[in-house]
Amino acid sequence: MVRLKKLDHEINYRLVRRLAEGGMGIVYEGQQHGVDKFSKTVAIKLIREEYSNIKEFRSNFIGEAKLVADLIHTNIVQTYHLGEIEGQYSIIMEYVNGINLEEFHFKHLSLGIPVPVDLAVFIVSRICRGLAYAHTKCDKEGQLLNIVHRDVNPKNIMVAYEGDVKLTDFGIAKAIDLMYNIEGEVIAGKDEYLSPEQAKREITDSRADLFSCGIVLAELLLDKNIFEEDNPKLTRRNIVKMQIPDFTLLRSEIDTELNDILHKTLQRSRNKRYQNASELLTALEVYLYSDGYGPTNEKLADYLQYIFDKKK
């Protein structure tokens, strides 16, 4: 049992098991305990000590955590509490009973089957729904908060066994940027999912997240990240300069309409991309539903049951 310090009171949590580990910290399944045997399953992310001990990071991380605390949307993992556990900053978040998109992808690779095109598009469309909400979020005075994720990648996309798709880890990548005072002096995010402006260390806006969505979608469709090299510098170079392929030649189920969506999403000039997440969401949903029936949360849930029971 650990006691999390939050403002002027304490909350009891029990760490149950480790769920994931990344560069910023470790995520645990936890139990929140209250009066009369109240218990709630949560996710607890402990920020690594080396970051928690840096004054500039602490200041900016707290500011960013407060900024995204009111992001309440079905396609975003909700933040419940910000606190401290034994000297390490922690975020208490909504627990998602499922897998992240990297695990979803690896499962397909292990089974030797491709991700269905419609479900790949559906998953990314749900991420766009969450981004459209976050990018346009305003404060209580109606001022735009200018929230940009900056680290949209498969590890930060959760797929619940019930079929919900949720984006997590808003704010942490920005906190690293702000630790160095001027955005652009340091790259936030995984190299192989950066936008060209991030790879070039330029100041970013919400359109950077859309380029990352294009990378994720292409990876789901092709079973590989088209930009990734063993050397991070070469990966960033590819993001900036590599010719974007004709996706119809790489997988027969990709038609010209989806190929056009991918090419527009992966435009190097942000002025030539979709200009906001709602535009990309609309394009993906028109692609999915223009003929009438298309994928739903329930269809995705059924597919997850099929995939993860396949070898039983």
> Annotated catalytic sites, by residue?
151
Q: What string of DSSP letters covers 137-158?
A: -B-TTS-B---------GGGEE
What is the rounded distance in angstroms from the CA atom of residue 142 to the CA atom of residue 84? 31
The CA distance from 148 to 170, in Å, is 8
Burial class (CB in 10 A: 0-12, 13-18, 19+), 102: middle
Helix axes 207-222, 117-135, angle to 10 degrees: 170
- Amino acid identity for residue 229 in this structure: E
Q: Which amino acid is at 23?
A: G
Instruction: Give me 121's structure tokens.
Output: 């598009």
Instruction: Confirm if 309 and 108 have CB atoms less than 8 A apart.
Output: no
**DSSP annotation of 163:** S
Q: How far is the CA of 200 from the CAs of 184, 229, 250, in angstroms?
A: 8, 17, 28
Helices marked H in the chain — which ranges? 49-52, 55-68, 101-111, 117-135, 172-179, 196-199, 207-222, 232-241, 256-265, 277-289, 297-308
DSSP class of residue 248 equals G
